[in-house]
Structure 1
Amino acid sequence: MTISAFAAGTYRFDRQSASLVGMKNQLDGLAQQLSTGRTAETYGGLGVARTTSLSAHAAISAQDGYLAAITSAETRVKLTSASLTQLKSLSDSTRSNLSGNVASRNQTLPATTVQLATNNLAAAIDALNQQAGGVYVFSGRATDTQPVVSQQAIMNGIPAEGLDGLTALIAEQKKADLGPSGNGRLLQGLGTRTVSLFEDSNPEARANFGFNLMAASSSNSAALGANFIAGSKPDVSLNFAQQPVDGAQVRVVVQLADGSQKTLDLTARAGEAGNAAGAFSIGNTAAETAANLKRALGGADIASVQSANPPGVSAAFANGQAASTSFSVGNGVAAGDTITLKLGLHDGTTKTITLTAATTADPTSAAAFAIGATPEDTTANLSRTLQNALTAAANTELSASSTARASLNFFEGSPVAGLSPRRVAADGNGYAETASAKTVIWYKGDTAADPRATATVQAGTSRTVEIGAQANEEAIRRTLAGIAAMAAEGFTTAAGTVDTARFEAVSSRAANLLTASDGQQSLEQLGTDFGLAASSMANAKSVANTTKATLEASLDGVDTVSTEEVAAKLLSLQTQLQASYKVTSILSEMSLVNYLR
């Protein structure tokens, strides 16, 4: 231990020195505060205020993160909304052109309509392939994958890869609907005084193709009898070649009450998950699983099934009765007498054929039949005219229905195993149950059940905004199907004339695809989703900015200092220090000798 020397007056001088050093340190600290504007260079220098500072800075950093995420997402939402607006404009343009051209019956306009639809389809594909910062906004979570293939691939397939496009599916569907006789798969018979019609004897074919007989009547039942016998539904049993694994998907098309069809995609699930909507339970055996699938359909009438193989789903159609109609011809048929036949199509529409008796009629007529010299002659004339009418209806209304159904079927195709577009079976009596590997899949992106949830933005501590989108959403699929149905058709006959009847029929169905009905998703709904997302983010951005400003204000006097106050303190301290230096200097020169003088 070292003991410092002590002399008289040492304590006073030590105190003066310490005081000068302290003021000098204060002066240096104030000078640094004045130059930086900060209270201290370390949190330790803040003393007890360091906890407040640390907490506030952490909260400010969080708000900066929210603001950065919102700013990035705003661009994506704006581009997504712009693309949806473009799709709505293209849909409206196509629909408006269809209705205007049908009303005008201008012979040159069908070709113009097809060209417009072709151009609009290309524009729609470009809109769906929109990118934001290198991210494809309509691909869901597959942001690095272009969602929609080229227009050429959609329409004509990829021949080099053995893949068919929409035009091939339309041709296939038309052939199946027309049937071998070209009259909508109806069987027509001619008796001595009777003309009969029967639906296709194959129950699966009746469920999917051609015309259905719905009703028949006569204006003069005494001379022209009309007898209609309603058919009955077949029994349909389902089977699996193998037990499906958890997550395997099956496509089932069911008949609706209006005669149209609806596609349902169901997922095989184990345990309680199999009771959820859109799922069916995996049983202990393949037969039990098939029963669970049928139960999940809620008693709906099955038209077709499809899956990958395995699990290899199949449907067996048995029993059921084909509907039939017969017209009997007696004596007393007069000019103006009519018979009426009502036909149903598998898109939910109907076609009514009315044939009128006349004293003379063109043998090629599809509307009038000649009254012959005998009832047998009249019967033969009626049969010929009925055949003409059925063929004409099959090549207009039924052909148009085939185009629209095939287009919707094509755009329901999915990259998920087993969910490619339906293809007509090799025998032509139904749809193939094993999913085709020879059809272009137009959509390559994500297939999440909730497209919005595929991209989220953390806009606050407990606020998440969903901004994901997929090009395979129902409203977009129907829009593409409606435009593509027109783009795929041609309405000029071999003779060079325009088939206005078929043009009108296709236009009507394309317009229906472009118009969302009750219960169907619309482009407006999609736009509303993103409008709400943009509004929510704008609100979150305002809250984040306000919170950040409040937190920054709370740090005034903690992290930062008032330059005016520091300057005043600095001047005061400089004055004190100068005075202290002066006094110390004077005192250091004084001695007892000077005092005795």
Structure 2
Amino acid sequence: MTIAPFAAGSAAADLNTRRLVAMKASLGTLSNQLSSGRTADTYGGLGAGRTQSLGARAQISALDGFIAAAGTGANRVALATASVQQVATLGSAAASGLVGAQAASGAGARPTLQQSAAGQLGGVLDALNQSNGSLYILGGRVTDRPPVETASRILDGDAETGLDGVKAVIAERQSADLGTGTAKTGRLDLSAAGAAVSLSESADAGVRENFGFTLGSVVSSNPAGLSVALTAATPSTATLSFASQPRDGDIVRVTVRNADGSQGFVDLTARAAGTSGDDTFAIGSDAGDSARNLTAALAGKTFAGKAVVGAQSASPPGAAAALSGGTPASATVTVGAGLKAGDSVQVTLGLRDGTSKTLSLKAGDGSQSGSFAIGATDAATAANLSAALAGALDSTARTDLAASSATRAASDFFAGSSSPGLSPRRVATDAAGNAAGYLADPSGRTVIWYKGDDTSVDPRRTATVPVSRDQSVAIGVQANEAAFRATLSGLAVLATTSFGTTEADTPRFTAYSARVQAQLRPGDGQPSVQGIASELSLASAQIATQKTQNTATKSMLEKTVDGVETVSTEETAAKLLSLQNQLQASYQATSMLAKLSLTNYL
């Protein structure tokens, strides 16, 4: 038997060498893993695990973005919620003040309501101008400036620029509603001739569709003594027109009379032919064709019991609504021989806010309020009835009608917008200076109180927080939302109206109080500030829930990454020790074989 000596370069030696080099490399790798705690320094060193690691890290990066956005969004929602709650608190405090001052025991507090309301109005405006230090959060998409004007400009206007505030708008509207005579008849015509007393709405369609009282029913308790002839009104017809061809994006605000006598607005935007959408009308071949398209677009809406009574826009395009036809309601009460003490006549008047008021006049000696004296002749009795009716109209005009007028004017002021043609409605006068309708283009006359974004259909969508790949939470708020406008309108009316402590002023205070409370505390189904707060609370909960879920998912992914990219110190140390022993044994065996000779073998 021949023993071949160890010779470097033989196949066996090469294989052995490669094994030793591999073991040495593994030893180095395990040493690095033990010192760094990581599987490898590069993704290539992870082997098949690199795909899992890269995918998990990509998801973690996305989740970090969502978690950061949720934190920022949560802070914004918290600030917005605090502002909204402040508005709700101030509005509720004003409403409670009205309730407390309603009772005779609280009449002494009435003179302080105006000053309190001015302070509350300022507080609401401050809350609506809330910012997080860099962004104003209640202006929709417009975040670089305060969304609302100051209280002084809103109330008193700007003398330097000649723009009126809400105080001037209210005074103008009340003058238009009450009339200019010493005895305020609410724009109704009252006359007496012989034994007959006549009451009629204005012959001017612009007046009877917009201002003062409407004449409803007239009922006599004794037709033999007080006969009534009532002629119901027939509605006027509005013809819409443009002074020039509208351009794409021009907005027309159409005033609509509702079935209850109140008024509302419908805003329609001009769009190029072939372009459709909600609240739009097509631009026609000329101004007349566009006006017909506008009329058709209005007819396509739910208009049961409603009628167009006005329109406004910027100029151009100069939208207008010409009222024609129709007849005023009128009533004639004739005194007859059968009249006796205690007989009465009841006149029901409609107001422009959808409410009504019934005047009751009773025959007697005329010594009590709401009564008229039976005279020596039918003509004398009719004169007394006319005087009593004039007094009742004047009293109601200065109370209920004035309150209705003020709240409607304030609502119109806060419905104004910086969009061309959507300035607050302003009264138009005839050659004699009497109110005859509304201006077709009220631009440049009134302070625009809101300077934020008013182009979004859904204020919440003006700001969103991405909380996952497929989900975002809407957190936007606009200071000109209907609920905020109602609160501002109520506070503005109180801040511009003074009240006395006397019993004589109680009917006027009651009329104002009822209408302002309806604005500060809207009924069921109406937009409310608390409703906005609830929506923000739901958004906050959504953000918090998704943030928690994202954090948990991130933790799981981090464990996955750790499982691929990190090593167990104990396991690595054991492998390293085992490999060191193997390598040492291999070195010893190789050394022995390298020294092997026949002499040594023998």
Fold match by TM threshold 0.5 = yes
Contiguous gaps of at least 5 residues in structure 1: 1-5
Aligned with 1:417 (options 420, 424, 428): 420
Counterpart of 1:349 in structure 2: which amino acid?
A: T
Look up the match of 2:219: 217
Aligned with 2:444 (options 422, 428, 437): 437
SS of the equivalent of 1:440 reads coil
Matched, 1:318 2:324: yes
Aligned with 1:371 (options 367, 371, 374): 374
What root-mean-square deviation, in Å, do the aligned CA atoms of Structure 1 and Structure 2 show? 2.4
Contact 1:366 1:392 in 2 (8 A): no
Matched, 1:387 2:393: no
Counterpart of 2:312 in structure 1: which amino acid?
A: Q
Matched, 1:484 2:492: yes
Look up the match of 1:354: 360
Q: 1:112: Cα distance to partner? A: 2.7
Q: 1:391: Cα distance to partner? A: 0.9
Aligned with 2:463 (options 444, 447, 455): 455
Contact 2:271 2:281 in 1 (8 A): yes
Aligned with 2:520 (options 502, 511, 514): 514
Counterpart of 1:155 in structure 2: which amino acid?
A: L
SS of the equivalent of 1:132 reads coil
Look up the match of 1:446: 453
Alpha carbons of structure 1 residues 433 and 519: separation in structure 2 relative to 1, 3 Å? farther
Look up the match of 2:511: 505
Counterpart of 2:451 in structure 1: which amino acid?
A: K
Contact 2:365 2:371 in 1 (8 A): no
**Partner Cα separation in structure 2 for residue 591 and residue 269 of structure 1:** 101
SS of the equivalent of 2:224 reads coil
Farther off after superposition, 523-532 or 202-211: 523-532
Q: 1:27: Cα distance to partner? A: 2.8
Look up the match of 2:242: 240
Look up the match of 1:8: 7
**Partner Cα separation in structure 1 for residue 121 and residue 570 of structure 2:** 67
Matched, 1:523 2:529: yes
Q: 1:311: Cα distance to partner? A: 0.7
1:494-533 deviation line (CA, Å, top 9, x unaligned) = xx98722211111111111223346532223322322232
Counterpart of 1:483 in structure 2: which amino acid?
A: L
SS of the equivalent of 1:56 reads helix
Alpha carbons of structure 1 residues 278 and 9: separation in structure 2 relative to 1, 3 Å? closer
Counterpart of 2:270 in structure 1: which amino acid?
A: A
Counterpart of 2:93 in structure 1: which amino acid?
A: S
Aligned with 1:249 (options 248, 251, 260): 251
Look up the match of 2:58: 58
Contact 2:246 2:316 in 1 (8 A): yes
Farther off after superposition, 569-578 or 405-414: 569-578
**Partner Cα separation in structure 2 for residue 348 and residue 423 of structure 1:** 20
**Partner Cα separation in structure 2 for residue 28 and residue 435 of structure 1:** 85
Contact 1:40 1:46 in 2 (8 A): yes
User: How many percent identity over aligned positions?
Assistant: 46
Contact 2:165 2:446 in 1 (8 A): yes
Counterpart of 2:243 in structure 1: which amino acid?
A: A
SS of the equivalent of 2:499 reads coil
Alpha carbons of structure 1 residues 596 and 359: separation in structure 2 relative to 1, 3 Å? closer
Contact 2:220 2:226 in 1 (8 A): yes
Look up the match of 1:3: none
1:134-193 deviation line (CA, Å, top 9, x unaligned) = 221111111112111111111111212211110000000001001122221111111111
Q: 1:8: Cα distance to partner? A: 3.3
SS of the equivalent of 1:73 reads helix
Matched, 1:404 2:407: yes
Alpha carbons of structure 1 residues 21 and 317: separation in structure 2 relative to 1, 3 Å? same
Contact 1:105 1:500 in 2 (8 A): no
Q: 1:404: Cα distance to partner? A: 0.3
SS of the equivalent of 2:268 reads strand
Counterpart of 1:430 in structure 2: which amino acid?
A: G
Q: 1:38: Cα distance to partner? A: 1.6
Alpha carbons of structure 1 residues 213 and 591: separation in structure 2 relative to 1, 3 Å? closer
**Partner Cα separation in structure 2 for residue 557 and residue 543 of structure 1:** 21
Matched, 1:532 2:538: yes
Look up the match of 1:140: 140
Q: 1:7: Cα distance to partner? A: 9.2
Counterpart of 1:466 in structure 2: which amino acid?
A: A
TM-score normalised to structure 1 length: 0.92
Contact 1:366 1:386 in 2 (8 A): no
SS of the equivalent of 1:228 reads strand
**Partner Cα separation in structure 2 for residue 42 and residue 548 of structure 1:** 22
Contact 1:176 1:424 in 2 (8 A): yes
Counterpart of 2:61 in structure 1: which amino acid?
A: S
Contact 2:309 2:323 in 1 (8 A): no
Count matched residues.
585
SS of the equivalent of 1:534 reads helix
Matched, 1:124 2:124: yes
**Partner Cα separation in structure 2 for residue 31 and residue 133 of structure 1:** 52
Contact 1:340 1:354 in 2 (8 A): yes
**Partner Cα separation in structure 2 for residue 501 and residue 85 of structure 1:** 32
Alpha carbons of structure 1 residues 81 and 558: separation in structure 2 relative to 1, 3 Å? same
Contact 1:39 1:557 in 2 (8 A): no
**Partner Cα separation in structure 2 for residue 127 and residue 360 of structure 1:** 54
Matched, 1:293 2:301: no
Counterpart of 2:499 in structure 1: which amino acid?
A: F
Q: 1:583: Cα distance to partner? A: 5.7
1:367-394 deviation line (CA, Å, top 9, x unaligned) = 2222222222222221111111111111
Q: How does 1:195-234 map to 2 (within 5 A)?
A: 195-234=197-236
Contact 1:411 1:477 in 2 (8 A): yes
